[in-house]
A and B are shown apart, each in its own frame.
Chain A
Amino acid sequence: MRRRYVLLILLAAGGLGAALLLSMGRDTARDVTQALDLRGDPPFEIRLSGPLWRDRTLRSEDGALDVGYVTGDERLDVLATGADEVPVAEVDLRVDGRLQRRIQPPCPQNACPSRLSLVLAPRVVGLGPGHRRVEVIVRDRKALNGQDVDPHVSVAKFRVNVGRRLPLVREGEPVTVVKAAPARMGVTERRLRAGGLRALTAIRRRGVLDGLLGSVPMNVLQAGPLKVNGLPLGASLLLQLRIARRNVRATVPDYVPAPHLPAGYRAQTVRVEATVLRDLLVDVDLNRRRVIAVEPGPQSQTKLWQPSFAPAPAGAGDED
């Protein structure tokens, strides 16, 4: 009975501790990295500031990065303070592990300062674009003598993202809150829509899509250009079936990107089965007046998608 009581107390204490950690963790992390700007373990406190420190890479609570875009070498201010008056004997500046500068403060009569302020200018841009690791290493005299160095060295490090020259981001016209209705369909969009629907009607007349669509009418939700590497090729339609169809199957046209071919794509067919078909993407090559892809849209449930010889076009792998 007593053991159970102790266990309950321990569990409650653990829960309370976890809750405190969860509620305070982020602010605590910020205090260290943002407000105090302190780095390094004893024997030295290393306070960093200046433009390069401001432009360092940060990490949010969910691990995502917030990166600067450094296009020129920037100043880094360093203030090293020895705990319990430990004197600073040497400071190294390293970038990507390579020594860029070594500073040994004057130590008259063997008395080094316990507080040292430096202005450094790490050369990061010359190393090219990418993430660069900047380290400031502070040592006391015992570390220089090669004794058990760990307790006598403090390190502050951070990363910066070096970019190419800053491109222009143009100045736009002042704009206001939107009050007018969205613009109506333009001439180009109407032409693409008409051309796409003509090709779709033709293929439906041949019965190729009967298994999928039957005779159900469709609304055009969107019509726009179909391109190959940015150049016009035809029309792409997003269609909605006026009545959803269930448990349909058909073999439909599709393609895979083929930049080496003049058309920019390689035609194939796909065996498709849909539990529910509500919407459809239809791509039309207007040069050939041919439907080249029929794919269930984002509101349709597919059960089978079996390309004839190549994987379905899926774009960039991690695109989402």
Chain B
Amino acid sequence: MRMRFVAGLASLVVAAAVALPATADSPAQRPTFVRLSENGPAFLAYDGGPDFDPRSRDWPVSLVFAGHARVGKIKDALRGLGFTRRGHSRFLAYRVDKESARFDGDRGLKTSCDSSGTDVHVRLYAPTATDRFIDPEFGSVVVGTAHLDRADGCSVPPTLFGFSELAERRIGTILGSIGWRVEPDLLDLGNPEPYRRDISDPAHIWLSNGRATLITVP
């Protein structure tokens, strides 16, 4: 029961079952608000621009930090593990209680480039006012997206962004190394993005199994 997820926001209603427009960056799934528990806060399953346009989604949420999570605390830990650079801002829509939707922005943290010119980029989201979501079943919660950047300001092209699934695994391994409990692919957020590429934006590589890794912050 504790692990029950309820997807959706019943109160936001306008035009539902319209198929996604066929555009390069559109996710495979219509972006949906998800809740970690029935009475918990809701967040969109994708980050992107500060709007609800499916075409401006960037990456699927694939990390859920629970326990005693706070954005500041997680970032402090990541900085100590080599995530010392920052990237471009993206936003995640969220909604707490009955209040209107908001978008939390984050530039995220990136590792330095490895010998292949690839870095791991993680963005963390929670209401700025509280630095965390409060979920009745999961405690203090922060959610995140992760992806790899290749030749993004370092190394020789080709430039590639994405492979979220690979980045999610790397982050799980890294945070597991400091004793945080990591449960890979535990939570089905309903945002699978099978591997694919679009010629109109070939640098953006979708790859995610739609199952977020749950990381318990001590």
Contact = CB atoms under 8 A, between A and B. Distances in A.
Nearest to B210: A178
17 contacts: A62-B106, A63-B107, A64-B106, A66-B104, A163-B52, A170-B16, A171-B10, A175-B7, A176-B3, A226-B196, A230-B24, A257-B202, A281-B158, A283-B197, A298-B160, A301-B116, A316-B25
A69 B204 contact: no
A54 interface: yes
A21 to B, nearest CB: 16
B186 interface: yes
Given A58-B128, A64-B107, A230-B23, A314 B157 contact: yes
Interface in B2-52: 3-10, 12-17, 21-26, 30-34, 44, 50-52
A111 interface: no
B190 interface: yes
Contacts of A189: 194
Contacts of B202: 255, 257, 283, 293, 313, 315
Interface in B116-149: 116-118, 121, 127-129, 147-149
Contacts of B6: 174-175
Contacts of A61: 72
Interface stretch (A137-145, A197-205, A231-239): A231-239
Contacts of B115: 276, 301
A108 interface: no
Given A223-B195, A224-B195, A224-B197, A312 B102 contact: no
A70 B5 contact: no
A54 B199 contact: no
B9 A171 contact: yes
B44 A315 contact: no
B195 A236 contact: yes
B194 A224 contact: yes
A217 interface: no
Given A169-B8, A224-B195, A228-B200, 20 more contacts: A54-B99, A55-B100, A60-B105, A61-B72, A62-B106, A69-B103, A168-B14, A171-B7, A182-B209, A227-B24, A228-B199, A257-B201, A301-B115, A304-B156, A305-B156, A312-B159, A315-B203, A316-B201, A319-B58, A320-B88
Contacts of B33: 169
Contacts of A304: 156
A298 B148 contact: yes
A34 interface: yes
Interface string B178-218: 00000001111010001111111111110101010000000
Contact of A178 (B16, B24, B34, B187): B187
Nearest to A307: B157
A113 interface: no
A304 B158 CA distance: 10
Given A69-B101, A169-B44, A182-B209, A226 B12 contact: no
A229 interface: yes
B65 interface: no
Nearest to A319: B161
Nearest to A165: B14
A60 B128 contact: yes
Contacts of B158: 281, 295-296, 302, 305, 312-314
Nearest to B51: A163
Contact of B8 (A172, A177, A303): A172
A227 B8 contact: no
A318 B88 contact: yes
B155 interface: yes
B159 A227 contact: no
B82 interface: no
B3 A316 contact: no
Contact of A66 (B24, B52, B103, B197): B103
B199 A226 contact: yes
A26 interface: yes
A60 B26 CA distance: 28
A195 to B, nearest CB: 14
B124 to A, nearest CB: 10
A301 B8 CA distance: 43
Contacts of A253: none
5 tightest Cβ-Cβ pairs between the two chains A and B = A230-B22, A315-B203, A172-B7, A171-B8, A66-B128
A165 B101 CA distance: 12
B188 A176 contact: yes
B23 A298 contact: no
Contact of A177 (B50, B103, B188): B188
